[in-house]
Chains A and B, each alone.
Chain A
């Protein structure tokens, strides 16, 4: 059973249509994003599914997941807060920002808040060095930048997100 194909038949077709049939292996990256959409990471089964669709080996799919930082092989929070801590950012206090943020959230870098909503990670240059501290947020299939941050600003924004998620839930039930 190809779960990915079953869950997203139309999406897979659209993605494949963008590549010539003999180079369909090139579709591996968009397919990985697709596989990651629902759970925020690429489950093991998706490696097999994508390999089957593209007629390559699961190992080849896995090495793409391993190579690029925007693919995940482990479940994490719905939103990933990725703080750049490279040198230029560090010079503008990014490392202290990260440390304090973690402290206030009661987690360590790489961990997830108890409500399962946020994972805080340190990453390399996000190409916004002059607006550090900066982080990007990955979640719900989107990427969003937050520049010139302070811990207070970030916490406030997180509260907004929690609010939004609560509202969503209530609307559903």
Chain B
């Protein structure tokens, strides 16, 4: 290739693309150049000088512009008088780099001597001890003794809270600015910064709450010392006592690859406990990052509130029962209901659980319904992303449309990767009814009023953004903000039509992606679940309901009533939810951390997770519970192992064909290398040895594919009219997503409590005036229990009332409502 150059490093010849930095070129051939400030995911800054190497370049004859040759015919090389920083120096043709000689060794030794002048060397109590670049590089290259005076070491604060999640130890900081650069350049949250200079320098935050960023935990991975630590892991364990177990984050459809670190410990009664959640490298999914929800909101798994035994209703009371008794009771109830059975499942279950649940519904001729208000999972199967897609490869010539979703809140790592794609030159179009953070990087922002989403798609089809229509590749992310099931179905259909008409489907980096609320919602669609528009009716008319990992009664009092009217209710759950309280039989389920299984991400990548801790005694995996109930009903469902259920999935569901657990566990070489012995290079994210998952093909790639009947290649009708609704004095009540909500799997992580959103209603001041709510502090939403605090916000669209989802406001999908003022109680005296 013309734009490659050849150079030699320590006598080895290597060919790399022009512009490659010496440090990366060396790493490619296994030569380690130690670094502190350089990070392969960030621009170099050359601040720490750890990477000094000797660099020589061919001498050119000025007259001929040809290299000057030595007597033996080799080019003459001129070495500079000084060493150069390998992290800022790009390679050039014929360059000769020496990373191991006396000069380099003494430079490294001296840089380390400086870095250690005031370093506390408190490795024995430092969280990073054992996986610390400074420790390792000092052992490798440092001086045994310092020429500086011990008495002159500076002593600085050691427990500086940068907010309640991340702590700073000032003495340990070596001022590499990795943390500050990550926050500014990679996630655009410049909420930590350098203060003062020289030895007085410290990391500060002035945001409220402190270090206000959804990505803050990543700085503790890339900090090359123990200066930044998480409140979650601080002083929790020594890294070498920890065992790594591969897992997948379930909190959103990105499906970030995790490694849980576990150990047995006396403090927990000899139990195996999770000490921390770390990113596991998957350059196709989350690279080496995770958001703070993934890092800190796993504590539900070990919550003392978990259900630990089956419950059966006797004389109106739920009382503990044996498994046999509970299974028998459940089977009896379901048998009586006959075909009028509804199986309702949440999208946090694994594919194996969902598959068995659907099989049970089929066997009883009942219905398998996914508990969601977002439709379109059948279309993402048809024209979703295909194998070979990678958001990390989008750039010039590619386009991305995001509509009706707030990715920063709903799927932070997608947000981060799309921001990067836009910065690499991809055309990012963000369409929304209100401003969102992704818009900052958009080539075009398209604003609409709720209910007019389809107009946007129509205008795009008419060529409103030619860079998008004519882009080589186009990925469309659609969400559900302000839309109910009908609305999202229509939007998904419109987006699929857009992709289809412009030929952006059936090949890598093209297709439709659903921004689901739950981690495995796509998997639920794939396993054969469907949606219904009216849960109230569905539940109240069912003779029996089997609910797994969903809490309709807790979400909405109307659904609680409906459930009360339903016949027999069986619940598989982690906690005694409102729904479980109403059940006739409750089965305690295992969390994802106690067993293995697979999830399918929003990009439709099937990924494995592994058992992390021992199961809570007497809890069983959902697929087992379902199979055991089924057996009592006379149906044989697979329950020997998730791997065997998965084999069935692969044989029955066409786009899962050929997949097996071993295949999902395959890994390939990734760049940059992280988590190896050279932790200084990429940080402490974990190397991926347990599987990068497999991307599913889109159905449209199959031979002879035709447009499915239900889609029909046309734009659907719009589903509601905001103006008409407002004229009747009603507003459109819209749930919006906040990353830290108060959902079942988030709330138990008390560390995040301060940042969790609280129940409230938000209105544009004009709207408040229009519906007579100016100066009012609390509102009553017609049909909902209890008054809610009112917040006015000028950035919101008019005619709409917002509330945070899963934060205690008992409403689910958007609907038209009337709002009333609640009179402030007059205080006596």
Contact = CB atoms under 8 A, between A and B. Distances in A.
B696 to A, nearest CB: 41
A65 B202 CA distance: 13
B289 to A, nearest CB: 21
A63 B207 contact: no
A66 B196 CA distance: 4
A67 B193 CA distance: 10
Given A56-B190, A57-B191, A63 B204 contact: yes
B235 interface: no
B148 interface: no
Interface in A50-74: 56-63, 65-67
Instruction: Identify the interface centre among A57, A61, A67: most chain B CB within 10 Å of its CB.
Output: A57
B205 interface: yes
Nearest to B180: A63
Interface string A141-157: 00000000000000000
Instruction: Identify the interface centre among B190, B194, B195, B206: most chain A CB within 10 Å of its CB.
Output: B206
Interface of A: 47, 56-63, 65-67
A63 B203 CA distance: 9
Contacts of A56: 190
Instruction: Identify the interface centre among B191, B194, B195, B205: most chain A CB within 10 Å of its CB.
Output: B195
Contacts of A58: 206-207
Given A58-B206, A59-B204, A66-B193, 11 more contacts: A56-B190, A57-B190, A57-B206, A57-B207, A59-B191, A59-B206, A60-B190, A62-B193, A66-B204, A67-B194, A67-B195
Contacts of B190: 56-57, 59-60
Contacts of B95: none
Contacts of B194: 63, 66-67
A148 B51 CA distance: 45
A59 B197 contact: no
Contacts of B197: 66-67
B179 interface: no
A62 B196 contact: no
A57 B192 CA distance: 9
Interface string B173-208: 000000000000000011111111100000011110
Nearest to A48: B206
A59 B205 CA distance: 6
Contacts of B205: 59
Nearest to A67: B197
Contacts of B195: 62-63, 65-67
A47 B206 contact: yes
The 6 closest A-B pairs by CB, nearest first: A66-B195, A63-B193, A58-B206, A59-B206, A59-B193, A66-B196
A153 to B, nearest CB: 31
Nearest to B194: A63
Contacts of A59: 190-193, 204-207
Nearest to B206: A58
14 contacts: A47-B206, A56-B190, A57-B190, A57-B207, A59-B192, A59-B206, A60-B193, A62-B204, A62-B206, A63-B204, A66-B197, A67-B194, A67-B195, A67-B197
A38 B204 CA distance: 25
A58 B194 CA distance: 12
Interface string B194-232: 111100000011110000000000000000000000000
Nearest to A63: B193
Contacts of A66: 193-197, 204
A63 B204 CA distance: 8
A62 B206 CA distance: 8
Instruction: Identify the interface centre among A47, A61, A62, A63: most chain B CB within 10 Å of its CB.
Output: A63
Interface string B101-143: 0000000000000000000000000000000000000000000
Contacts of A47: 206
B200 to A, nearest CB: 9
B187 to A, nearest CB: 13
Nearest to B200: A66
